Structure 1
Amino acid sequence: MRQSRGIILSIVMIPIACVVAVPFYYILVNTLKTQAQTTAHPLAPPTSFNLDNYIRVFETLPIVQAFFNTLYVTVISIVLMLLIGAMAAFGVLIGKARFATVLGIILVIAFVVPGQATLIPLYRMLAGVQLVDSLNGLIVMYAAGSIFCYFLILGYMRTIPAELFEAARIDGAGAFRVFWSVALPLIRPILVTVGVFQTMWVWNDFITPNVFINSPDKQTLVLQVYTAVGQFTTDWPTFMTLTVIVLVPMIVFFIVAQRQIVSGLVNGSVKG
C-alpha cells in the first residue's frame, strides 16, 4: 500500500516539478546565448558554452559591491532579529502573566499591520536620525522582523519543560545566564529554521531598499536587477544573466540549510 502510494505521488509530482522548472531552465540556458540565438530559439540548449554575458554583467554593473552590501545587511539583520525575538520570547515566558498578556496583544497588533502602510512615517523617522540612504538604516528596518521571530520562538519555548529554567535559577543563575546558557542551546533548531526563512526574505526584499536607498554604491543585488531593467531592456540574455547571479547565492544557501529547516520543524513538533 505504501509503495503504491509513493508511485502515485511520484507520477503526480514529477510533471509538476518539470512545469515549475521550465522558467528556471529558460533563464539559465539563455544566459549562455547571444541575443539573436535567444530570439530565434529561446528554449533550445546553447550551441556553445559562452560566458560573455556573465563577463559583461560584472564589467558594467557593481555586482561585487552590491553583493557585499546585501551580505552585510542580511547577516546583521538576522542576528538582531533572532536575538531580539529570542530575548522577547524568553522574557514573556518567564515574566508576569499580566505583563506578558499585554505585551503579546501589542505584538499581535504590530504584526498584523502591513509594512507598506507604515513606509511614510518610517521614512520620516529615519530621515530625522539621518539613516535614510544608509545600510544601517536598512538594518534598523529589518530588525522589525523580530516580531515574526518572537511568535515562532515563543511557541517553541513553550514546549520546553519549565523545570529546566527553575532548576537553573535555584542554582543561582540570573535571568540572563538562564537565557544564554539554558534557553539558547535548547531553542537552536527553531533559531536555525527562522533564520533561514528571514534570510531569504531580507536577501530578496525589494520594497525596503527601493524606498530607503538612493546612492548607487549602496544598492543591494535586487536593486541592481531593477536598475538593469532599463539598461538591458533589449538585451535579454544579459538581463537573465544578472538574474541568475542574484539567485545563485540563495539557491545554494537553501540547499545547504534544507536539512536544518526540516530538523527544526520536526524537533519543534515532537519536543515535550
Structure 2
Amino acid sequence: MTRTHEGRRSVLRSIVMIALTAVVAIPLYYIVISTFKTSIDMARSPLGLPGSWTFHNYVNVFRTSSVVRSFTNTLIVTVVGVAFQVLIGSMAAYGMILQKGRLTAAAGTLLMVAFCIPMQSTLIPLYRMEASLNLVNSLQGLILIYLGSAIFCYFLIVGYMRKLPMSLLEAARIDGAGPFRIYWQIVLPLIRPILTTVIVFQTLSTWNDFVWPNVLLSSTDKRTIVLQVYNAVGQFSTDWPSFMTVTVIALVPVFVFFVFCQKWIVSGLVAGSVKG
C-alpha cells in the first residue's frame, strides 16, 4: 500500500514538473525557432518548424546593427564591474571580521540600512552625481554605479568569513604576515566557494540589467546588449524574426555561463551553510 502511494506521488510529481518545464520551455522554443523563420513563416505557423531553415536573420542582424559593439560593451562592463564588486565586498567583509568593535558594528549597521534602500529612490540623486562628474553616457559611469552592488557581495561573504578558523589567521599574523598578505594568500582561497557563487549572481545581474544602462547611456556606440534588444523593437517593428535573433544573441552567453557555473552556485551556498 505504501509503495502504491509512493508511486502515485512520484507520478503526480513528474506530471507537475513536466507541466512547469513546458511553461518555461515553450516561450524559449518560440523565440529560438523564430530566428530560423521568415516573417511569413512566423505569421503562418508561430509554433511550427520553419518551412526552410535559414541563418539569414543572424547574418542580417550582424550586418545591419551594432550587436558586436553592444556585446563588447556589455562584456567590458560586466567583467570590470563584477571584479571590483567582489574585490570591494570581500575586502569590506575581511575588515569587518578582522577589527571587531563599535566602529565596525556601526559601519555594518550603515551598510544594512543602505542595502534596504530601494534602488528606484536613488535614480535621480545618482544620475545628478554622474552628471556632475561628466560620467553620463559612458561605460566608466555605468561601472561606477554597479560598484554599489558590492554591498550585496559584502553581506554574502561576511557570513561565510565569520566561520573561518580565526586561529589560522592569528598564526599567520604571528609568523609575520601582514593584513593584505593574509587576505590574499589565506582568506581568499578559503572562501573560494562563496566567491564563485557571488561572481555568478553578480554576473547574471549585471549582464541582464536594463534600468541603469537605459538611464545613463544614450549613444548608439555605448549601448549594452540588453539595450540593443530593447531598441530592436522599434528598429525591427515589422521584422520579428530579426528581433528574436537579437534576443537569442543576448541570451546565449549568459545561458551558457549559468549552465557551466550552476554546480558552484549550489556548492557555494551549501558550503556556506554548513561550514564550521
Q: TM-score, length-normalised on structure 1?
A: 0.96
Corresponding residue for residue 101 of structure 2: 97
Partners of 1:215 and 1:98 in 2: how far apart?
47
Partners of 2:88 and 2:268 in 1: how far apart?
19
Offset from partner CA, 1:32-58 (integer Å, 9 cap, x none): 111111011101111222111111111
* Alignment pair present for 1:22 and 2:9: no
The amino acid of 1:200's aligned partner reads L
Compute the displacement of 1:228 (Å). 1.0
Compute the displacement of 1:8 (Å). 4.6
Compute the displacement of 1:6 (Å). 5.4
Partners of 1:32 and 1:187 in 2: how far apart?
44
Partners of 2:121 and 2:17 in 1: how far apart?
39
Offset from partner CA, 1:64-114 (integer Å, 9 cap, x none): 111111000000001000000000001011113211210111001110111
Partners of 2:167 and 2:184 in 1: how far apart?
16
Partners of 2:233 and 2:137 in 1: how far apart?
21
1:180 to 179, 184, 197: 184
Partners of 2:150 and 2:238 in 1: how far apart?
41
Unmatched 5+ stretches in structure 2: none
Compute the displacement of 1:21 (Å). 0.5
Compute the displacement of 1:127 (Å). 1.4
The amino acid of 1:165's aligned partner reads L
Matches for 1:1-272 after TM superposition, within 5 Å: 4=7, 8-272=12-276
Compute the displacement of 1:60 (Å). 1.1
Partners of 1:19 and 1:226 in 2: how far apart?
24
Which secondary structure state, in structure 2, belongs to the residue aligned with residue 238 of structure 1?
helix
Identity over aligned pairs, percent: 57
The amino acid of 1:91's aligned partner reads G
Partners of 2:18 and 2:174 in 1: how far apart?
56
Number of equivalences: 272
Unmatched 5+ stretches in structure 1: none
Compute the displacement of 1:172 (Å). 1.4
Partners of 1:133 and 1:139 in 2: how far apart?
11
Compute the displacement of 1:11 (Å). 3.1
Partners of 1:31 and 1:194 in 2: how far apart?
33
Offset from partner CA, 1:147-192 (integer Å, 9 cap, x none): 0000000011112121111111111111111111111000111011
Partners of 1:45 and 1:68 in 2: how far apart?
32
Offset from partner CA, 1:90-146 (integer Å, 9 cap, x none): 101111321121011100111011112111111111111111111011110001100
Offset from partner CA, 1:249-271 (integer Å, 9 cap, x none): 11011011111112212211221
Runs of 4+, deviation exceeding 6 Å: none
Partners of 1:94 and 1:85 in 2: how far apart?
14
Q: State the Cα RMSD in Å.
A: 1.5
Partners of 1:97 and 1:79 in 2: how far apart?
29
Compute the displacement of 1:221 (Å). 0.4
